[in-house]
Amino acid sequence: MMALDSQMKNIIEQVRKANAPELFQLTPDQAREEYAKRVKKLSSQETIFKFEDRDIRVGNSDIKIRIYWPKALAIDEKLPVLLFFHGGGYVIGDLNTHDSVCRILANLADLIVVSVDYRLAPEYKFPVAVEDCFAALNWVKENGSMIGADTSRLAVGGDSAGGNLAAVTSILARDNGFQNIRFQLLVYPATAPEPETPSHYQFSEGFLLTRRLVTWFYKHYLRSRSDTKDFRYAPLISDDLSQLPSSLIITAGHDPLRDEGVEYAKKLIEFGNDVRVINYNGMAHGFYLMSGAVCKAMDALEESANALKNELKK
C-alpha cells in the first residue's frame, strides 16, 4: 500500500493533536457545526462572478439551492450545468461546506453549478434526501433556460453521500425517461448496502472517516435495516445499471469507501457504460474539500473540471 501523502498526514496529525471530539460523540447539530469549522480551515477562498440562493418547492416543503455563474452571459448564451449534491453522511454538510468546491468547478469547467441543500437526517430520514435531489433535477429541467443553463448539457455530481445521491439520481432519471444527464461525477461515492469491503476494515480507524462515524451516519439516515435492500440507498445492488451517463469516479487510497467506488465502476462497465476511475493514492476521505491545504485536492478538482468540459461539449 502506498504511504499516506505528507500533506494529508499533517492534517490527520493536526486533528489528532487538537483533541477535538469525534463527530459521532456529538449531537447532529453539534456535528454539523464542528464539520463546518473543519472544512472552512482546509478549503480555499475562490471568487465567483455571481451566486444566488433560491427556494424550490418539494411536495409541501421548500429546500434551498445555490446557483453559481462563472461569468456574465450574452443574450441567448447558454452554459452547461452541473447539479451538485454535497457530502456529509446524509447528516452533516450544507451549501456552505461545499461552497468552495462549487465555485472552483464553475470557474474551471465554465459551467453553471446548482448546489442542492437537501434535507438532512435524522430529522428527515431516507428516502427524503433522494426525493429532494430528484426534485432539484426536475427544477433544473423545467427552469434551466431561465438561469442561462443548456439543459441538454447536464451533469450530476457529488462527494461521498452526495456521490451516492448523484448515482441514484441518474438511475431515477433513466427510469423516468429523462435522457439529458450526459455525465456523472462521483467522488468517493457511498454505493454499498453494508460497510463490509476490505477498505472499510483496512481504514476503519485513523483516516478521518472512521468505522464508528460511518455507523453513526447510517443509524441516523436509515428508517430500518430493510432500507439497506433499496437501490436508492445502495445503488451497487441495483439489478439494472444499463444506459447510464458516462462517469468519472474518483477514489482516495486511504478511504473506507474506496472499494465500493471501484466496485460500482466495475458494475457500471459490466452494464456497458463508459467509466473512468482515478484513485488518488495517499489521500484520505474528504480530501476533495481540502484545496487550501492539499495539492492533490486541486489536482482532483482540475481533473473533474476537464472531464465536465469534455463530456458537456456542444
Catalytic residues: 160, 255, 285
Residue labelled with grid coordinates 472552483: 104
Q: Is 6 helix (H, G, I), strand (E, B) or coil?
A: helix
How many other C-beta atoms lie within 10 A of the C-beta of residue 303?
Answer: 18
- Please give the Cα distance from 126 to 158 (Å, whole number): 17
Distance of CA 66 to the CA centre of its chain: 15
DSSP letter for each residue of 143-165: HGGGGTEEEEEEEEEEETHHHHH
Alpha-carbon span 100 to 102, nearest angstrom: 5
Per DSSP, helices labelled H in 110-239 are 128-143, 161-175, 198-202, 211-221
Q: List residues bridging with 67 in a β-sheet.
A: 52, 114
